[in-house]
């Protein structure tokens, strides 16, 4: 018997600096915030209820939830060559959206590869990295 999963619910990324990572994800994607760590002056009940955030944030968008958990050591850096995450890919509706995404990254001064057509796979991708070097990708139809 197998588990009958129907979709992803959420992905949470471990980051070094929540302020830096939030600025990046806010500027690039503009996702709505579903949950965020309470301010330092919040009451203890609120702090306890949101302790699962570890001082981070959880975004909500059409694909589900994306969390940022700021517990990585300051000198740590992501590499897809270790066990765990290889990359995280977000989808867009069309090829023009991929080119718009490249223009957005250019406007923000974020380095990225060019839009790559993967031919018979039917998709094109745009690759870039977040402040923790986590490999990100935008995927969409190649026509």
- Residues 46-96: pLDDT tens digits? 999 999 999 999 999 988 999 999 998 889 888 888 888 999 999 999 999
Asked if 29 and 13 touch (Cβ cutoff 8 Å), the reply is no
Q: Give me the architecture of the 1-74 domain, per CATH.
A: 2-Layer Sandwich (3.30)
Per-residue pLDDT at 8 exceeds 90? no
Q: Distance between CA atoms of 41 and 113, rounded to whole angstroms? A: 43
Answer yes or no: are the C-beta atoms of 121 and 7 closer than 8 Å: no
Least confident of 1-15, 40-54, 108-122: 1-15
92-110, pLDDT tens digit by residue?
999 999 999 999 999 999 9
Best CA proximity match to 32, nearest among 64, 69, 71, 70: 64
pLDDT score, position 106: 98
Q: Dig out the tokens for 127 from the structure.
A: 């690759």
Q: What is the pTM of this model?
A: 0.91
1-74 with 86-143: one CATH topology? no
Give residue 141's pLDDT.
Answer: 96
Which strands make up the sheet holding 10-14, listed edge to edge? 10-14, 64-69, 57-61, 32-36
CA distance 108 to 113: 14
Question: Band of the pLDDT at 6, cuts 50, 70, 90?
Answer: confident
For the domain 86-143, what is the CATH code?
3.10.180.10
């Amino acid at each position: 018997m197998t588990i009958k999963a129907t979709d992803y619910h959420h992905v949470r990324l471990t980051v070094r600096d929540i302020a830096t990572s939030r600025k990046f994800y806010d500027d690039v994607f503009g996702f709505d915030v579903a949950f965020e760590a309470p301010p330092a002056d919040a009451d203890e009940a609120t702090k306890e209820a949101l302790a699962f955030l570890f001082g981070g944030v959880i975004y909500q968008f059409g694909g589900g939830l994306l969390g940022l958990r700021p517990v990585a050591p300051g000198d740590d850096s992501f590499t897809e060559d270790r066990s765990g995450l290889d990359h995280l890919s977000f989808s867009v509706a069309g090829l023009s959206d991929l080119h718009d995404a490249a223009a957005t990254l250019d406007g923000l001064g974020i380095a990225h590869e060019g839009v790559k057509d993967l031919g018979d796979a039917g998709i094109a991708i745009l690759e870039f990295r977040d402040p923790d070097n986590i490999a990100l990708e935008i995927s969409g139809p190649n026509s």
